[in-house]
Amino acid sequence: MTQSVRTTTGTSEKPLSEAYDTALLDLDGVVYAGGEAIDHAVDSLTAAREGGMHLAYVTNNALRPPEAVAAHLTELGVPAHPADVITSAQAVARLIAEELPDGAKVLLIGGEGLRIALEERGLVPVESADDEPLAVAQGYGGPDLPWSRFAEAGYAVARGVPWYASNTDLTIPSGRGIAPGNGAAVEVVRIATGGAEPRVAGKPRPPMHRETILRTGARRPLVVGDRLDTDIEGAHEGGVDSLLVLTGVAGVEELLRAVPEHRPTYIGQDLRDLLTAQPEVRAEGGRFSCGGWTATASSGALTIEGGGERADGVRALCAAAWTAAGKHAYEGRTDAAREALAR
């Protein structure tokens, strides 16, 4: 089924935590950064859960097993069970297990989370390309993963062993800024093998969405994320609504220039927007208004005037940019609008 092109953010008269039964929450850049809770995350998630919303934590980070992630969330003040956590390690392990015999050897290039996920599917992780693996599984292994692991992956893939990646996020948020993610490590193996391509399970690919729905049983899910190319595109591919929070990777500039599959249903400053209704963006004569802001896209540039909540200004600007761009990315100037919004 062909999806219509989104040119403005959605409207919800109810708080999102009441309009949807399950929040499919990304972790890095949404709930925490560098291991520390993001401002307002704990209180907002507590209120959403107490109001009856099911919280599921869906992460492309394959490093830690669900038990460790749930324990970390509980320490931060957001009680969670391992069953509430869905990782790209689980998604890629299911994908491999469906295509290999039980007990097959798999070359592990990653951390403990990926190892446990493979073993849960009846697969046997091995350390060397010389162990005759039937597949290579690559996931984020943390900043200290030895360079020799990438060499082992390269040796196996070059011999024709099928290659699977948990995800291809080029970057990952940390407490000190943006760090290289598993996608950067995948590029190392791709270059070493002369351009081989892995099968990818994580967001925005369908295997991750399937894993999430199978494990949560969500009937009306809302994807909550900070990245356009994984969280929002994954929601688009799965045909579900999404909330982008501006606490992680994606910023206003990237949002204004988003292609249709990267345009979220809703925009929020942080997780407090999970607890609020979403205002309508009103269009009249090429002017787009939300809250106290009015934005226009004319003469190849975005402009905005007024004042009020920053998120309302971003919503108005997105409507102006996305309407002007249609099926493409907005290519006009945005500097004046961003400066006005910052002031």
28 is catalytic: yes
Q: Phi and psi for 76 in degrees, rounded to 5?
A: -75, -15
Which ranges in the chain belong to alpha helices (H)? 16-19, 41-50, 66-76, 88-97, 112-120, 147-158, 182-192, 206-216, 233-238, 252-256, 310-325, 335-342
309, 315 Cβ separation under 8 angstroms = no
295, 320 Cβ separation under 8 angstroms = yes
**21, 26, 144, 169: which is the annotated catalytic residue?**
26
How far is residue 332's CA from residue 297's CA, in Å, rounded to a whole number?
A: 8
33, 175 Cβ separation under 8 angstroms = yes
Beta-carbon contacts of 101 under 8 Å, excluding residues fewer than 6 positions away, are: none
131 is catalytic: no
| Distant-in-sequence contacts of 100-104, Cβ < 8 A, 24+ apart | 100/134, 100/135, 104/133, 104/134, 104/135
CA angle 87, 61, 20 (to 5 degrees): 55
How far is residue 57's CA from residue 216's CA, in Å, rounded to a whole number?
A: 10
Place of tokens 């979220």: 264
Amino acid residing at 33? A
- Count Cβ atoms below 10 Å from residue 70 Cβ, excluding itself: 20
**21, 28, 131, 144: which is the annotated catalytic residue?**
28
Residues annotated as catalytic (active site), given as ranges: 26, 28
